[in-house]
Amino acid sequence: VHYSDQVPPNQAKQARSELNEQGVAVKQVDRALTAEELAARRAEEKAAADAAAAIAAERERDRTLLDSYASEEDITRSYNQRVDLLDQTIEARKVEIGLREKNLADLVGRAADTERSGRAVPEVLQKMIKDERTEIERQRGDIKKREQERVQAEKDYKVDINRYREVAARYAKDAEAED
């Protein structure tokens, strides 16, 4: 039997006890983890860190929600302003499309008159017709985008108002418990 104050290399990964000068165990060293155990531990640590980050982010969103709105009425007012602005933008785009369609009809009429008279339609007129059509389509696309924003605003409102109620109730309950 050979005694040493160093662990032999072939035993370094095994569980062991470290002894003091009197031979009393002062420290337990667990065995080295296998690659699978190490991967599992890292996955658990990552999952725990992700969960903690999600909780911290939720608390931050809750704090922001409470700091941003003094009451449910403030949330409703903000939502109504957002929707009103979107509705006004949509209506303005519709009016603009109507004007552009009228202008397009006039341009197409001029082009038709030119063709009927046996002349070629000038490139400038062709470009103006193309530009009007392009702008009308762009405006229609903008209307669709604003309508989607309106739908999203309604979803956001429902989420925010419900979350506000939950958070406000929890803070009220916590404040009551402190008294």
Half-sphere exposure of 158 (CA within 13 A, CB side): 5
pLDDT interval class at 1 (50, 70, 90):
low
Q: Which of 72-76, 165-169, 170-174 has the lowest mean pLDDT?
A: 170-174
Segments making up each domain of the chain, as ranges: 14-60, 71-178
pLDDT tens-digit series, residues 89-142? 999 999 999 999 999 999 999 999 999 999 999 999 999 999 999 999 999 999
Is pLDDT above 90 for 12? no
pLDDT tens-digit series, residues 154-169? 999 999 999 999 998 8
Say whether pTM exceeds 0.75: no
Please state, rounded to an integer, the average pLDDT across all residues of the chain: 91
Q: Which residues contact 87 (CB under 8 A, 6 or more apart)?
A: 150
